[in-house]
Structure 1
């Protein structure tokens, strides 16, 4: 049966009125995706970003290009994404300090929660206390005793607000003075640990792992309440006399504000498929990364929970804005 002119017009009108599928609205990605890492190259977040971008490449029609925009504890690169178009072609990979910064920095040009779109939490960020093998202590207890005998001489490296807070919170609880020494990335911090220029430093398992076969680095403690599977022989701070010490962070993928829910789901789904892949999971283990994938709603909940924790710490005077 040949359709009438009237039925063809009605069908065309119905097609125009129906919502267009996502692909018809503009497939993602239609051009290379810019993944901003607001920290220096060679750190743990940068390593993870490049591994994820490489793993996503076979499943996407366009590459993901990692761009390091370090400075101001991650604020410079993050602001770039906060002002970007919400089309999924500019994304941000940050650590949990992204939320903590509002209590650590004197001012910020954006709200770390409201001015970004949560896409997915990726990993748990267990911090480890590292020291060069030439240092005159081989345990956290030994480091504390040495610091008590030598006030102010055990500088503690950090790379952002969380590792800085962990170092100073440990010093506060142990009754020692360990000046905070800021680094732009875990890679730079580890270089000075290996060279013997820095006594100790708090950094991620990702930054520490490549140096563990050299024999020039020791891990004195982990920041969490349980031991990390990557260094199961390393005791926690609590096991070494610093009671109830349990601090860790996360790495997450964010986008600009006002991203469409369907686009968030599409990007999050692509990333989840990579993180569910057995080969990629083994890559994470090799890198020293602890997988902790959570979709957008769970990431938002974690960010809001962290915000309450850091607000309480700031109110108690345990976090003070930089001058």
Structure 2
């Protein structure tokens, strides 16, 4: 269900900025929980733990990353939506946090109104991957194989965005490719490597550990431009899928009604981590696309996404799960 694993620092821990000079009204006065509403070992979990390690030397209290997976991120997000806005419970979530209101039949919170934005952290380009033992080695050959075998080439996904990307690609290509849901990118990649899953869309972070093993093929990026981490993988537009450009983000949120000064203090601490050269090198090693934006820009992005997904739902391209 979920795990609770405190971060253990070592001599190899990430370098971090100098300790914070101002701690506001005693923040933090106890350990800070960072809720990741997905299973361990996925890209969001890996990023959250890297941030936690980098933050730890500058704070007076431990950072504890806690996985609360379930219901496409809703279980863990609800914990934060109902927590005290004192800075001791935070959330690291992907952009489907907003999309879920159109993908799921109901939500126990409003994904924008019931959270305090802290910062956007990274861009989340999705990569289409398959095992080296599959009978296709490119996006075009996968589509052709799927046309010859309707319903036999499933695409794995880990949340609403990767599910939408897979189904939107299939819709535009005119093929039937069933969506297969996973709890994390790590689990999806394990099945790709083992040959149990024909293909899947997941983050660059989840794919990166498998590069060079010879057991995984990276077939395409989800965006209009190629990924800097996988420059040999074409875009769907290059393969004839016009105007295909979809990506997400990872952000840090807090409970609603947080004091703006405290939210700014937390956001500033995170920004100092993201501005640190050593941490930026760590992100590159993980395959993370840095895209730090402060709270106002995050809120603007969330509101923009909400309009995009509302239009997609109205057009019938997103249908609530039954």
* TM tier relative to shorter chain: over 0.9
Partner of 2:281: 282
Cα distance in structure 2, aligned partners of 1:271 and 1:91: 12
Shift of the alpha carbon at 1:322? 0.1
TM-score when normalising by structure 1? 0.92
Partner of 1:155: 154
Q: Look at both structures and tell me which one has the larger radius of gyration over its CA atoms.
A: 1
Shift of the alpha carbon at 1:27? 1.4
Unmatched runs of 5 consecutive residues or more in structure 1: 1-21
Alignment of 1:185-200 (within 5 A): 185-200=184-199
Shift of the alpha carbon at 1:64? 1.0
Shift of the alpha carbon at 1:26? 2.6
Cα distance in structure 1, aligned partners of 2:147 and 2:31: 53
Partner of 2:7: none
Cα distance in structure 1, aligned partners of 2:49 and 2:128: 25
Partner of 1:7: none
Cα distance in structure 1, aligned partners of 2:62 and 2:248: 28
Unmatched runs of 5 consecutive residues or more in structure 2: 1-21
Alignment of 1:51-130 (within 5 A): 51-130=50-129
Partner of 2:248: 249
TM-score when normalising by structure 2? 0.93
Alignment of 1:131-280 (within 5 A): 131-280=130-279
Cα distance in structure 2, aligned partners of 1:243 and 1:95: 26
Cα distance in structure 1, aligned partners of 2:286 and 2:145: 32
Kindly indicate which of the two structures has a greater share of residues assigned to helix. Answer: 1
Partner of 2:19: none
Cα distance in structure 2, aligned partners of 1:69 and 1:213: 32
Q: How many residues align?
A: 302
Cα distance in structure 1, aligned partners of 2:92 and 2:306: 18
Aligned to 2:238, what secondary structure does the other structure show? helix
Cα distance in structure 2, aligned partners of 1:259 and 1:305: 22
